[in-house]
Chains A and B, each alone.
Chain A
Amino acid sequence: MSLDFGIWVEGLVTIAMLSYVWKENPFYRIAEHLYVGISAGHAVVMAWGNIRDAAVKPMQEEGQLVWIIPILLGVLLYSRYFKGISWIARYPVAVMVGIGTGVAVRGAIHGDFVQQISATISVGSVNDILLLVFVIASLSYFFFSRELKGPMGTVPQLGRTVLMVAFGAAFGTTVMGRMALLIGRIQFVLGDWLGIMK
């Protein structure tokens, strides 16, 4: 059994969190509040570290005064807490939305559209043919302008089946992931904490 204080804290908090499957209890609540509090505190420290290293230091040590602009915009975000001047917060939000959208769209056009479509229509193997057929079938399922009837109606039906298979695969991998997280905790309890696992 471990004699490390940190390992004991981790072990007891793990048991407290897992006790929720029995029923909601004070130990679970304490562990939950600890998690929320520590995560929030950690996030604040890391955020301040970012502002200090990326903006304050270059401004102080290298005289890069341009960093005043993002710092000022950041401070203006807090104006929303003051009645009368809360409208000022819209400007930094607008800047953030504009930059965020611009960066995302620039990358998405090439990475998610051009290259993905190009790879989908490049047929070189049986897998590629299946992929192309299933992509067309799935897209046809979401074609709402006109109902596809007769022999053409089988295409969206195939699309529906393909989507069901994809949902099944996604659910299966979700179960696999959740099991992995639980195994990780059991490995910790039996191995690092209690020392009964080789």
Chain B
Amino acid sequence: MERLQSIPKSWIYVILLIVLAGPLLRPIGIPIPISSDIRKSFEAVDSLAPGSVVVFGFDYSPGSAAEMEPQAMAILEHLAEKQVKVIGISFQAQGPEMATKAFSATSWAEKEYGVDYVNLGYRAGGQAAVAAFATDIPGTFSTDYTGKPSSSFPIMQGIKTAADIDMIITIAPGQPGPEDYVRQVYGTYKTRIIAGVPAVAITQVAPYVQAGQIEGILGGLPGAAEYEILVEKPGQAVAAMDAQSLAHLLIIVLIAFRNIPSFFKAKEARAQSMSGSAQKAGRGGRS
């Protein structure tokens, strides 16, 4: 039992590597059920009429791209299919590069820049910048990512405030993120919001979904995988789900290995102390 508690760290790393790499090389095909949250998000995007204007917040960086990028790509594919117009913005310094990569890796690469979509780049200021964006979009994002005036693009004609936007989709692992859009945009303009967040942020953003301030939420890699299935374009996230599921199983087994011996040891110690106190009480009774 004690040997189970002292598995060397290096063994754990090797086992984890095998468990993660194995299913990536030879997929098992563990079923991926669609959760109600993802279905709601999909239906919200699906309800957009052709020509609607969506602001897409690329509020993530390469550090969180493994979780966030598959979400962004899956939703972008859906938006392309719905023939809506997409205004890409970012309140995260490395977001504009992520936007460029996502647009070029999806069906948007075949669409016309400035007419169907635009990348307006990054604006500093966190929540204050989100507030400024809500009240004056062309003023806050006066140029696109390459420095051309944003007003020169046909897609920006008639876009003044968040009231002129049909939906905001933000893919954000931290701040500024969905909460800031709720506080600064939804409160005043009631613009529909869909949020893509990392797994760790699901519990933070869930209350806003419960309250109806955010219409739909995609959480982590499983959220992206489910969305990829709904748009019928299985990609990076679907491919990763076998590995993700097996990794969780491994962690459960490791937690059990580490704790079951302690549990039995504690039980044994308790039984010993009880029998010891019973003997003492017995001796006390005879004397």
Q: How many B residues have CB within 8 A of the partner chain?
A: 58
Q: Is the interface of A mostly helix, strand, loop or mixed?
A: helix
Binds A, one of B40-48, B181-189, B276-284: B181-189
Measured between beta carbons, the chain A residues less than 8 angstroms from B137 are none
A24: interface (CB < 8 Å): no
Is the pair A112, B93 in contact by a Cβ cutoff of 8 Å?
A: no
**CA gap between A197 and B199 in the complex, in Å:** 25
CB distance from B18 to the nearest CB of A (A): 11
Measured between beta carbons, the chain A residues less than 8 angstroms from B17 are 186
Measured between beta carbons, the chain A residues less than 8 angstroms from B267 are none
B198: interface (CB < 8 Å): yes
Contact residues of A between 96 and 152, Cβ < 8 Å to B: 99-100, 103-104, 107-108, 110-112, 115-116, 118-120, 131
Is the pair A53, B199 in contact by a Cβ cutoff of 8 Å?
A: no
**CA gap between A46 and B239 in the complex, in Å:** 34
Contact residues of B between 44 and 76, Cβ < 8 Å to A: 64-67
A26: interface (CB < 8 Å): no
Measured between beta carbons, the chain A residues less than 8 angstroms from B66 are 180-181, 183-185, 187
A25: interface (CB < 8 Å): no
> Contact check: which of A21, A53, A100, A183 meets B143 at CB < 8 Å?
A53
Is the pair A183, B203 in contact by a Cβ cutoff of 8 Å?
A: no
Across the A-B interface, the 8 shortest Cβ-Cβ residue pairs: A184-B66, A107-B183, A119-B211, A111-B183, A177-B199, A176-B199, A110-B187, A180-B221
Chain B residues within CB distance 8 Å of chain A:
9-10, 13, 16-17, 20-21, 24-25, 64-67, 93-94, 121-124, 126-128, 131, 140, 142-143, 147, 179-180, 182-184, 186-187, 198-203, 207-208, 210-213, 219-222, 236, 239-240, 243-244, 247-248, 251
List 19 extra interface pairs beyond A173-B201, A185-B66, CB under 8 A.
Answer: A21-B9, A22-B10, A42-B94, A46-B124, A54-B142, A57-B143, A103-B184, A107-B131, A107-B180, A107-B187, A115-B213, A118-B211, A119-B207, A170-B200, A173-B219, A176-B222, A180-B244, A183-B66, A183-B244
